[in-house]
Structure 1
Amino acid sequence: MISSRQRDLGLDPGLPQLSTLFDLPAVSKLYEGSSLGTRSGLGVRARQVHDVSHQPSIRCQVAHELTLERGDDEPLETIGVVDVRPGELIFRPFHEDPDLPWLAEAVDLEKVSRHLEALALAPECRIVRVVPVRYKLGSRCLLRFDLEVGSVPRVLYGKILAMDGGPLWRTLIALRDIGPGRDTPRVLQPLAYCADLHMFLLPEVAGCAEFRVLAFNTTTASEARLQWMRKAGAVLANLHAVRVPTEPPRRITADAEDLLRFSSLVARAAPTLALSFDEAIGWLEALTDEDPSTVASHGAFRTDQLLVEGGEPLMIDLDKVCWANPARDVGNFLAYLRWKAIREPHHSSFIEAAIPSFLEGYGSVRALPGERWTARYEAASMLKIVGRRFRNLDVRQWALVPQLLDAARALLAHRARNGSQVGAAVRATNRGTPTAVGVALDVGGMTERLRTLLAPFDDGGAAPVVTRADLIWRKPDHRWTIRYTLAGDGDEILGKMYRDAGSGRWVHEIMRWLWDYAASGSPELGVPRPLGWIPELSMLVYLPVGGRVLGDAILDERAATYMDLAAAWLSALHRSGLPLDRAFDVGNELANLRAWSSIVGDRYPDKAAAADRISRRLSERSSELGAESGRPIHKDFHYQHVFVTDRASVIDFDEFRLGDPNFDLAHFCAYLTLLGCRLPAMADVLGRHRDRFLVAYSRQAGWHMDGRFPVFYAYSCLKIARQLCAGTGVLPRPHADEQRRQTSAMLAAGIASLDGGLPGAS
Structure 2
Amino acid sequence: MTGATEALDAYLARQGTDRVRPPLRYLRRKPGRGLVAVFGPGRSGDVYTVTVDERSLLEGSDGATLSGSTVQAFPDDPELPHLDAVMTPSEHADLAAALESAARAAHHVLPDWQLLDVAAEPVRYKPGNRCVLRYRLRFGGPGTGDATRTCTLVAKLYQDLQEAQAADDLLTRLRDQAAVPWTARPLGVVPGLPLALTEDLGSRRDRVPAHSGPDVVHPGSDDAFEVVRRAARALAELHTSGVDTGGLSRRTGVEEAGKAGKRARLLEQYVPDLVPVARPVTDAVCAALAALPTDTLRPGHGSYKPSQLMVRDGSVFLVDFDQFCLADPALDVGYFLAYLRPAGLWYHRAGRRAWFEAAAGAFLSAYAERLAERGESAATCAGIARRAPVFEAALLLKIAVRRANRLHSPRPGEVAAVLDEASRCLAVAGPPGSPAEARPARSREA
> How high is the TM-score relative to the length of structure 2?
0.75
Query: Alpha-carbon deviation of 1:383?
Result: 1.0
1:256 aligns with 2:257: yes
Q: Which has the higher contact order (CA 8 A, sep 6+)?
A: 2
State how far apart, in whole Å, the 1-side matches of 2:167 and 2:196 are: 10
State how far apart, in whole Å, the 1-side matches of 2:138 and 2:85 are: 20
Q: How does 1:577-616 map to 2 (within 5 A)?
A: none
The secondary structure found in structure 2 opposite 1:227 is helix
Question: Given the superposition, is the C-alpha separation of residues 415 and 361 from structure 1 closer, same or farther in structure 2, using an over 3 Å criterion?
Answer: closer
CA deviations on 1:506-555 (whole Å, 9 max, x unpaired) are: xxxxxxxxxxxxxxxxxxxxxxxxxxxxxxxxxxxxxxxxxxxxxxxxxx
CA deviations on 1:206-227 (whole Å, 9 max, x unpaired) are: 423444433436263xxx6433
Q: How does 1:702-717 map to 2 (within 5 A)?
A: none
Question: Given the superposition, is the C-alpha separation of residues 125 and 262 from structure 1 closer, same or farther in structure 2, using an over 3 Å criterion?
Answer: farther
2:327 is aligned to 324
Q: Which amino acid aligns with 1:374?
A: A
Q: 1:107 aligns with which of 49, 72, 87?
A: 87
Question: In 1, are the aligned partners of 2:291 and 2:432 still within 8 Å (CA)?
Answer: no
The secondary structure found in structure 1 opposite 2:20 is strand
Larger Rg belongs to: 1
The secondary structure found in structure 1 opposite 2:371 is coil
Question: In 2, are the aligned partners of 1:263 and 1:278 still within 8 Å (CA)?
Answer: yes
Question: Given the superposition, is the C-alpha separation of residues 139 and 28 from structure 1 closer, same or farther in structure 2, using an over 3 Å criterion?
Answer: closer
Q: Which amino acid aligns with 1:157?
A: V
1:53 aligns with 2:54: no
State how far apart, in whole Å, the 2-side matches of 1:378 and 1:250 are: 15
2:102 is aligned to 121
Question: In 1, are the aligned partners of 2:404 and 2:410 still within 8 Å (CA)?
Answer: no
Question: In 2, are the aligned partners of 1:259 and 1:387 still within 8 Å (CA)?
Answer: no
Q: Which amino acid aligns with 1:325?
A: D
Q: Indicate the RMSD between aligned Cα atoms, in angstroms.
A: 3.2
Q: 2:392 aligns with which of 366, 374, 378?
A: 378
CA deviations on 1:188-220 (whole Å, 9 max, x unpaired) are: 223222374332223333423444433436263
State how far apart, in whole Å, the 2-side matches of 1:275 and 1:101 are: 46
Q: How does 1:689-728 map to 2 (within 5 A)?
A: none
Question: In 2, are the aligned partners of 1:102 and 1:196 still within 8 Å (CA)?
Answer: no
Question: In 1, are the aligned partners of 2:329 and 2:384 still within 8 Å (CA)?
Answer: no
Question: In 2, are the aligned partners of 1:61 and 1:83 still within 8 Å (CA)?
Answer: yes
Question: Given the superposition, is the C-alpha separation of residues 404 and 93 from structure 1 closer, same or farther in structure 2, using an over 3 Å criterion?
Answer: same
1:197 is aligned to 193
CA deviations on 1:3-27 (whole Å, 9 max, x unpaired) are: xxx4xxxxxxxxxxx34x24xxx55
State how far apart, in whole Å, the 2-side matches of 1:255 and 1:102 are: 33
Q: 2:120 aligns with which of 126, 130, 137?
A: 130
State how far apart, in whole Å, the 2-side matches of 1:56 and 1:249 are: 26
Query: Alpha-carbon deviation of 1:271?
Result: 1.0
Q: How does 1:272-291 map to 2 (within 5 A)?
A: 272-274=273-275, 277=278, 280-286=281-287, 287-291=290-294
Question: How many pairs are equivalent?
Answer: 384
Question: Given the superposition, is the C-alpha separation of residues 370 and 44 from structure 1 closer, same or farther in structure 2, using an over 3 Å criterion?
Answer: same
State how far apart, in whole Å, the 2-side matches of 1:295 and 1:185 are: 20
Question: In 1, are the aligned partners of 2:212 and 2:310 still within 8 Å (CA)?
Answer: yes
Question: In 1, are the aligned partners of 2:130 and 2:157 still within 8 Å (CA)?
Answer: yes
Question: In 2, are the aligned partners of 1:56 and 1:268 still within 8 Å (CA)?
Answer: no
Q: Which amino acid aligns with 2:268?
A: A
1:154 is aligned to 151
Q: Which amino acid aligns with 2:316?
A: P
The secondary structure found in structure 1 opposite 2:413 is helix
1:726 is aligned to none
State how far apart, in whole Å, the 1-side matches of 2:275 and 2:185 are: 42
Q: Which amino acid aligns with 1:352?
A: E
State how far apart, in whole Å, the 2-side matches of 1:386 and 1:411 are: 14
Question: Given the superposition, is the C-alpha separation of residues 212 and 57 from structure 1 closer, same or farther in structure 2, using an over 3 Å criterion?
Answer: closer
Q: For structure 2, which runs of at least 5 residues remain unmatched after alignment?
A: 57-66, 105-113, 141-147, 203-207, 373-380, 440-446
Query: Alpha-carbon deviation of 1:284?
Result: 4.5
The secondary structure found in structure 1 opposite 2:345 is helix
Query: Alpha-carbon deviation of 1:174?
Result: 0.9
Query: Alpha-carbon deviation of 1:332?
Result: 0.8
State how far apart, in whole Å, the 2-side matches of 1:97 and 1:258 are: 29
1:31 is aligned to 11
Question: Given the superposition, is the C-alpha separation of residues 122 and 230 from structure 1 closer, same or farther in structure 2, using an over 3 Å criterion?
Answer: closer
1:168 is aligned to 167
1:216 is aligned to 218
CA deviations on 1:670-690 (whole Å, 9 max, x unpaired) are: xxxxxxxxxxxxxxxxxxxxx
Question: Given the superposition, is the C-alpha separation of residues 269 and 97 from structure 1 closer, same or farther in structure 2, using an over 3 Å criterion?
Answer: same
Q: How does 1:253-402 map to 2 (within 5 A)?
A: 253-263=254-264, 265-274=266-275, 277=278, 280-286=281-287, 287-338=290-341, 340=343, 342-343=345-346, 345=349, 346-367=351-372, 368=381, 369-393=383-407, 395=409, 399-402=413-416
2:421 is aligned to 407
Q: Which amino acid aligns with 1:248?
A: S
1:139 is aligned to 129
State how far apart, in whole Å, the 2-side matches of 1:387 and 1:305 are: 20
State how far apart, in whole Å, the 1-side matches of 2:393 and 2:253 are: 11
Question: In 2, are the aligned partners of 1:296 and 1:323 still within 8 Å (CA)?
Answer: yes
Query: Alpha-carbon deviation of 1:175?
Result: 1.1
More helix by share: 1
The secondary structure found in structure 2 opposite 1:370 is helix
Query: Alpha-carbon deviation of 1:80?
Result: 0.6
Q: Which amino acid aligns with 2:49?
A: V
1:76 is aligned to 44
1:512 is aligned to none
Q: 1:422 aligns with which of 432, 435, 444?
A: 432
State how far apart, in whole Å, the 2-side matches of 1:185 and 1:411 are: 32
Q: Which amino acid aligns with 2:384?
A: G
State how far apart, in whole Å, the 1-side matches of 2:333 and 2:117 are: 40
State how far apart, in whole Å, the 2-side matches of 1:157 and 1:30 are: 34
Question: In 2, are the aligned partners of 1:305 and 1:316 still within 8 Å (CA)?
Answer: yes
Question: Given the superposition, is the C-alpha separation of residues 279 and 168 from structure 1 closer, same or farther in structure 2, using an over 3 Å criterion?
Answer: farther
Question: In 1, are the aligned partners of 2:87 and 2:120 still within 8 Å (CA)?
Answer: yes
Question: In 1, are the aligned partners of 2:7 and 2:50 still within 8 Å (CA)?
Answer: no
Question: In 2, are the aligned partners of 1:27 and 1:46 still within 8 Å (CA)?
Answer: no
CA deviations on 1:310-362 (whole Å, 9 max, x unpaired) are: 42211112221111111011101111123545147344322221211111111
Question: In 1, are the aligned partners of 2:185 and 2:198 still within 8 Å (CA)?
Answer: yes
State how far apart, in whole Å, the 2-side matches of 1:276 and 1:196 are: 52
1:92 is aligned to 72
Question: Given the superposition, is the C-alpha separation of residues 152 and 398 from structure 1 closer, same or farther in structure 2, using an over 3 Å criterion?
Answer: farther
Q: Percent identity?
A: 26
2:239 is aligned to 240
> How high is the TM-score relative to the length of structure 1?
0.46
Question: In 2, are the aligned partners of 1:52 and 1:391 still within 8 Å (CA)?
Answer: no
